[in-house]
A and B are shown apart, each in its own frame.
Chain A
């Protein structure tokens, strides 16, 4: 899985296929060939392999948003607060220089030790966190700064105050805000892409996943508790809903996979950051020439076409 030829194959397939496939567009011969190759790869993705990735995505030493920020950006200036109520520390936002140009970065932030985990609420944002994200996006839009989001959350925080302050609406409005932006946006799932709390900041022109990241509609444990009536069946649930990067790419939910160093991102954070940097710069360069209206139009069209349908 981790060799570059295979990753290249997936990238190539994603580029060729675009989003139209979901609506039943005919495949070109080249595309069919790539599909067959990917099919063989999929057969190699065993339940154990998927679960290994779930564990890596949640690894306690896995680099978090600020670990990448310090390795990727010069002159990072963090922005705090939603300008209404509070500064939600589960989401960080700020400006910095990526390869010499100003970008806005928004990401979930988990904590490394007990104290920081409490401060960061395990990367589970409240509505105020999404409102901080929204105001940062709008700031970047006004100034023409590209936006990079780093997604790493078990999910949005399920709490009394979170509901009273409009968790669902905040997640919906964050997606709406992203779909309205006229600047290039790249989202990267760097660990756990947990449900609504993740997609809230992942509605981007390019959505990437690191090789060992997961992107899920519900946690494997939550799914197991509901469908199997047993949270211990999480491994089974994970292999049923296939949250790994290869499957997400196959379903065209993401546009590419960012390779990680041997053993996973935590084994060599500097190397992981260098690989991430390479991908970010390539995708941002690709998007740089597109006009705001074109970005908006094609971003909406991409998400509009998500899903697989049958007819009677």
Chain B
């Protein structure tokens, strides 16, 4: 498996842009293998062995899409689909850098064509499709390619009455694709509708962070919604809310545990049990016919 040999790169999961607040970049705790919760530091292999969960305090480190698939799928079963799709640049978008340059850099750095990997797989012997997002590709932002790969995964599964397991990790819609990025919300919602109408199933896993347009589209429409402990899963980010309301936010604002309490997710599942939990659900949803 080619993707297992790829060393996990640094994943910046600050969903509020770091650059907007230079005072925060003091360099401390910035190392990707230093636990932001307890300060313990690990070698890469140590973290890979624990599914990127801190053995000291249980903090869930972010997981890149290829590693996520390796954690969930039966060995050798993942068969990537739609790998040839790439973002176009219909707006010829240019901020401080051209969008095409940002795309090329992201592809070089992450070895991914865009912020989602999709394909066939089996989990504990149950055939399904996995759609795993990768925050390290432009903040996991959803543009035309993320929307298209997800929609195609749903369509192919709908033809078979099958199950799509999605693992979201996204800052929201990709600004560089403008209004077309916003249109990926109804696009993925339409794909889920077709999947579910055809008797198929969406099992939605929310990883840290799942915010903005992905929260406001497919990720919230799972037949079952699971979240990882401590994952920020909100529509608006905490800083935007704090600035708008000028109120002190609750400590668990927008976190998986809070969303569980308020009834927006079915279960908060620790990473070591995610695979077995999905396998149980695949068995249950497969038992209806």
The answer to whether A308 has its CB under 8 Å from any CB of chain B is: yes
- A164–B180 CB distance below 8 A: no
The answer to whether A162 has its CB under 8 Å from any CB of chain B is: yes
Q: How far is the CA of A176 from the CA of B178 in the complex (A)?
A: 22
* B152 CB to nearest A CB, Å: 10
The answer to whether A309 has its CB under 8 Å from any CB of chain B is: yes
The answer to whether A195 has its CB under 8 Å from any CB of chain B is: yes
Q: How far is the CA of A165 from the CA of B240 in the complex (A)?
A: 17
* A177 CB to nearest B CB, Å: 10
The answer to whether A160 has its CB under 8 Å from any CB of chain B is: yes
- B175–A311 CB distance below 8 A: no
The answer to whether B38 has its CB under 8 Å from any CB of chain A is: no
- A253–B216 CB distance below 8 A: no
A-chain residues with CB within 8 Å of residue B221 when the two chains form the complex: 172-173, 176
A-chain residues with CB within 8 Å of residue B235 when the two chains form the complex: 156, 158, 162-163, 167-168, 171, 196
A-chain residues with CB within 8 Å of residue B184 when the two chains form the complex: 306-307
B-chain residues with CB within 8 Å of residue A172 when the two chains form the complex: 185, 189, 215-221
The tally of residues in A whose CB lies under 8 Å from a CB in B reads 55
- Listed residue (A167, A172, A200, A203) with the most chain B CB atoms within 10 angstroms of its CB: A172
A-chain residues with CB within 8 Å of residue B216 when the two chains form the complex: 156, 167-168, 171-172, 196, 200
The answer to whether B40 has its CB under 8 Å from any CB of chain A is: no
Closest to A215 in B: B179
A312 touching B113 in the complex, CB below 8 Å, given contacts A179-B193, A242-B91, A306-B184: yes
Q: How far is the CA of A226 from the CA of B212 in the complex (A)?
A: 14
B-chain residues with CB within 8 Å of residue A199 when the two chains form the complex: 182-183, 185-186
Q: A residues engaging B (CB < 8 A)?
A: 156-160, 162-169, 171-173, 175-176, 179-180, 195-196, 199-200, 203, 215-218, 223, 225-229, 237, 240-243, 247-248, 251, 253, 300, 303-312
**4 closest A-B pairs by CB:** A307-B144, A168-B215, A158-B236, A241-B178
Q: B residues engaging A (CB < 8 A)?
A: 17, 19-20, 84-88, 90-91, 93-96, 113, 143-145, 147-148, 151, 173-175, 177-187, 189-194, 212-213, 215-221, 233-236, 240-241, 244-245, 247, 249-250, 253-254, 258, 262-264
